[in-house]
């Protein structure tokens, strides 16, 4: 296995597109085939993927329940205002 990659910058671009599901199937297949023979590409791919997965699994929060009620109350108020104001201008 190669311990250095002469196309590392180009490979990093492809890695980004692959993990973001923006690469073409051909690009992805070519990279995955090469990855097994190239240590920097293998490590780069694993790191980028683990980072994305960590963000997905560890950075989510739920919307507080009271916010739903507040939003509905604001919209109700907005509708009342519209119902009062529109006849004044029509």
Which residues make up the interface to other proteins (CB under 8 A)? 8-10, 12-13, 16, 20-22, 43-44, 46-64, 67-68, 70-71, 74-75, 78-79, 82-83, 86
Asked whether the beta carbons of 83 and 51 are under 8 A apart, the reply is no
In angstroms, what is the minimal distance from the CB of 25 to other proteins?
16
Asked whether the beta carbons of 30 and 66 are under 8 A apart, the reply is no
> Count of alpha carbons within 13 Å of 62, Cβ hemisphere only?
4
Residue 37 or 50 having the CB closest to other proteins:
50
In angstroms, what is the minimal distance from the CB of 38 to other proteins?
14
DSSP at 36: T
In angstroms, what is the minimal distance from the CB of 85 to other proteins?
9
Asked whether the beta carbons of 18 and 12 are under 8 A apart, the reply is no
Residue 20 or 30 having the CB closest to other proteins:
20
């Amino acid at each position: 296995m190669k311990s250095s990659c002469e196309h590392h910058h180009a490979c990093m671009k492809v890695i980004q597109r692959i993990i973001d599901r923006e690469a073409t199937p051909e690009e992805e297949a070519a990279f995955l085939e090469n990855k097994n023979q190239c240590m920097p590409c293998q490590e780069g791919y694993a790191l980028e993927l683990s980072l994305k997965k960590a963000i997905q699994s560890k950075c989510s929060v739920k919307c507080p329940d009271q916010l739903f009620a507040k939003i509905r109350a604001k919209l109700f108020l907005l509708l009342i205002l519209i119902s009062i104001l529109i006849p004044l201008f029509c």
